Each structure stands twice: as structure tokens, then as C-alpha cells.
Amino acid sequence: RRGHGARHGPGRCRCCGEEAAERGAAWGLYLRIDRQRLQCLNERREGSGATVFRPWEERGDRSQFVESDDDEELLFNIPFTGSVKLKGVIVMGEDDGTHPAEMRLFRNIPHMSFDDTAKEPEQTFSLSRDPLGELEYPTKIARFSNVYHLSMHFPKNFGAETTKIFYIGLKGEWTEAHRHEVTICNYEASANPADHKLEQITPQTHFIS
């Protein structure tokens, strides 16, 4: 891994557990997903799409996955609880034909349907099989710097009838949504005389020397 050796120079050794915790924290955007409104279209088992967004440390849990139903396509609609700057994505599947082969990302188009995927995505990735969840796909950050809703379209896989995904990692920064609250201003009905004190005019005495 690039830069790995430099970290373990004299006096700079860090235990691997600390490094893993640090990496896990970087992939913490799953905590910022509005799960009540998360959608996965064409999932075989209802609610299974939501299970792939979980802690990085739990990506190896093979009991949690989403599988497509009618064909190989999957579409996730992911609303966030604030504004996100998306920096990277991990997609983990089986080491076989069910692994997605392409990923298309759309930003800020809530409730996307498969018909909407005809639109031009913000970014498209050719995926490699990644059964261990190790490959990171960096996004064009300028295009994903103010994302409140992310759609992920997986149009095809490596040749199987259905697509299976075990884990999706989202890396980036989250900013709380600014709620525009109505400010009520109280204006005084009449001016308060105490606010308008007259300046005292002090007479000056001139002495002629």
C-alpha cells in the first residue's frame, strides 16, 4: 500500500487496530443515510437493500446482502440527513458472475425510477470483482460536493441472471442541513423616551487672559 512503509518509520509506528479504526471512521457516511426513505428498486427481498449500508468493519458479514429480482439491474435511492461531500465508494460482491460490473452515480434526483436512468449520470465506473471490499472508487469531488440525495444504478453484472451486493461503502464529509426557521421580530409600538435622552448642553466659560 502506498505510503505504508513510511508510517512505520522510527517513532511513528502505529498499531494496525488504530489504523483499521481510522479507516472504518472514514467510511461512516452510512450513519448519515435517512433509512426511513432509503429505496432499493428490483430487490428480491424487501428491505434487503438497506442492509448493505453498514459499518466498514462488518462488510464481511455474508448473511446480509441484496439480490436483484427480475433481471440484473439494481437502483438505490439514498437520501442523506444533511449535505454530503462524497469522496469514494466501495462495492463488494461475490467473486463470480453476480458481481456488478458497472456503477452509475446520480446526484440530487429524489425518487429515481429505472426510466430516469436514461439520463446522463454524474459519473460512471467500470467495476472489478471485489469479494473482500478492498477496492475504492474515487469520485469527482467537484461534482459530488453538495449531495443531499444519491442514486446508484447498477445496470449489469459479469454474466449472471441476477446481481448480488454484500456491502456498499460511502466515504466523505457530512454537514448538517440548515433549517430555514422563521424569525419573528418584535417591534416596539411606541418609542421609549428613555432611549432618546437629550444630550445635556454644557455651557462653556471663556476666560480672557
Instruction: Give the pLDDT score at 5.
Output: 41
Give the number of other CB atoms < 10 A from CB of residue 82.
14
Q: Which three cell numbers stand for residue 120?
A: 446522463
Q: What one-letter code names the amino acid at 86?
A: L
> Which CATH architecture is the domain 23-176 placed in?
Sandwich (2.60)
Instruction: Give the pLDDT score at 191.
Output: 54
Kindly report, residue by residue over 37-83, the tens digit of the pLDDT. 999 999 999 999 999 999 999 999 999 999 999 999 999 999 999 99
Instruction: Give the pLDDT score at 22.
Output: 72
Residue 87 φ then ψ, to 5°: -110, -25
Compute the distance between CA of residue 198 and CA of residue 127 in angstroms, rounded to an integer.
78
Give the residues of the chain that fall short of pLDDT 50: 1-13, 183, 185, 187-188, 197-199
What lies within 8 Å, CB to CB, of 107 at 6+ separation is 122, 143, 144, 147, 149, 150, 151
Instruction: Give the pLDDT score at 15.
Output: 55
Instruction: Give the pLDDT score at 124.
Output: 98
Q: Which residues pair with 124 in a beta bridge?
A: 104
Compute the distance between CA of residue 201 and CA of residue 206 in angstroms, rounded to an integer.
15
Q: Which residues pair with 58 in a beta bridge?
A: none
